[in-house]
Homo-oligomer: A and B are copies of this chain.
Amino acid sequence: MGARHISFTPAKPLLASELNQSTLDAKYAVRGKIPIRADEIRNHIESNPNSHGLPYDRIISANIGNPQQLDQKPLTWYRQVLSLLQYPHILDKVDASVIHELFPKDVIERAKTILGSTGSMGAYSHSQGDSYVRKSVAKFISERDGYPADPQSIFLTGGASAAVQYLLQILSSDKNSGFLIPIPQYPLYTATIALNNAVPIGYFLDEANNWSTNPTQIRQLIHENNAKGINIKALVVINPGNPTGAILTKEDIKNIIDIAAEHGLVLIADEVYQENVFEGEFVSMKRVLSELNEQHPELYSNVQLASLHSTSKGVSGECGQRGGYMELVGFTEEVRQVVFKLASINLCSVVSGQALMELMVNPPKPGQESYEVYHAETSGIHSDLQGRSSSLYAAFNKMEDITCNKPMGAMYLFPRLNFTEESYPKLYKDSDDTGVVVDELYCVELLESTGICCVPGSGFGQVPDTYHLRTTFLPPGTEWIESWANFHKEFVKKYKG
């Protein structure tokens, strides 16, 4: 090596300021500043278990809907099949009687059926997803809605996030491409819009009316933005709502479809919380569109809908398994091919996640061997989640200067912090002095005082001069809720008046 003749002036290392501006601009609060601080505290506690000097022993991660990070158990049905899919050879290793102690017959049959199509969890599947799984998804959709679904229109994706990214990427044709998104919204949308150099156009959900949509306001935004030269491409709907926890009425959905039909907007229906319903009824966008289309094909046959689902939510919350699907309705074959090409560049979504999606949309039926356990586990988790959401809702309603809509679905509450400048002058002074907005300041102090990690409303968007926060209701027990209530009293004492 000494023999090489080297002579050059080394260049300077890359600065962040030289990077793609859109990657600098994108924000993702759910795993942003406050969760990053929570990680630091968690590491501090783990490194100093007996001398951390904090009034709490653990971080309560209420910033993200991640049930199995907390105490939620996976469904036996899912995991038994996934276990066999990874190691089917186990069936040959011990006697049939022993195998039957380990795996019910329907589990073994389903694993064989899935492997009959995928071959192995270790082989790339078709880029659009395994054909048997896509057929199962289509069957689920058609039974849910009473209208047919085509396996060719189903894409199996890595969670719903990958689907959102494909859609926003193909639709962002230039920097004047606009996307109508609800405010508050799940920040994946603003982040992905920023990464595609497109324009987010927020329509406000109406907090006073259970976070419903206002079609007049949406039409007004379309006119205003068209006049400014924005070419609006799509309208995003999150139902059940994240972060709001609200469920849209059928009337709301019809109004939205009318707007899409008239203005040629692609509808992106983020329906990942469709199983998480405590009050009211989830009606899919696909079903309402199909009904309208049946009655008025001259008006609705051109509507293009992409509806998204995920294995990360529901009662099971298998977030880490990265399963999801997107159904494309009404798109031209040409456009579908472009989505397919993007999926091809990614090769395929994880095959075990595809299998999990099949298990989710095609669960055991009454009479089948796994049914009882499946039914007991799913209804147990469902009522447990409902109970947790009610307890947290009740707790917020007892806190001074907090109001909260009754949770109908999803995994979140989005309470409002009614801290006016008049009543909380010290809070606004601190906010002005530090440049930290009011709701973020609340979340920072909540974290530092109690270890509870949630996300300020500013990360999701909110009506100007209103303040909220998003919290999941997933953490177990009531102790954390009590410590929140105590913190809140101190916070009000410190800043009010």
Contact = CB atoms under 8 A, between A and B. Distances in A.
Contacts of A173: 18-21
A353 B298 CA distance: 48
A79 B291 CA distance: 46
A295 B2 CA distance: 9
A439 to B, nearest CB: 20
A334 interface: yes
A119 to B, nearest CB: 6
Contact of A172 (B20, B254, B266): B20
A190 to B, nearest CB: 10
A317 B74 CA distance: 28
A64 B161 CA distance: 26
A334 B79 contact: no
Interface stretch (A85-93, A268-276, A465-473, A487-495): A85-93
Contact of A15 (B6, B86, B300, B332): B332
A180 B318 CA distance: 40
Copy number in the complex reads 2
B93 A82 contact: no
Interface string A329-360: 01110110110011011111111110000000
B347 A319 contact: yes
B123 A23 contact: no
B192 A23 contact: no
Interface string A171-195: 1110001000000000010011001
A304 interface: yes
Contacts of A348: 320
Contact of A13 (B299, B304, B318): B304
Contacts of A300: 10
B120 A68 contact: yes
29 contacts: A1-B254, A8-B299, A11-B261, A13-B264, A14-B304, A15-B334, A16-B334, A16-B338, A19-B170, A20-B171, A23-B169, A23-B170, A24-B338, A28-B345, A66-B124, A68-B120, A69-B124, A83-B86, A83-B87, A86-B86, A86-B352, A93-B101, A121-B321, A122-B321, A124-B319, A161-B346, A161-B347, A169-B195, A321-B350
Given A122-B316, A192-B345, A322-B349, 14 more contacts: A1-B254, A13-B330, A19-B338, A20-B173, A23-B341, A31-B127, A39-B126, A67-B123, A74-B120, A82-B86, A94-B98, A158-B350, A195-B342, A350-B352
Query: Which 4 A-B pairs have CB atoms at the shortest separation, nearest pair first?
Result: A11-B264, A320-B351, A83-B87, A16-B334
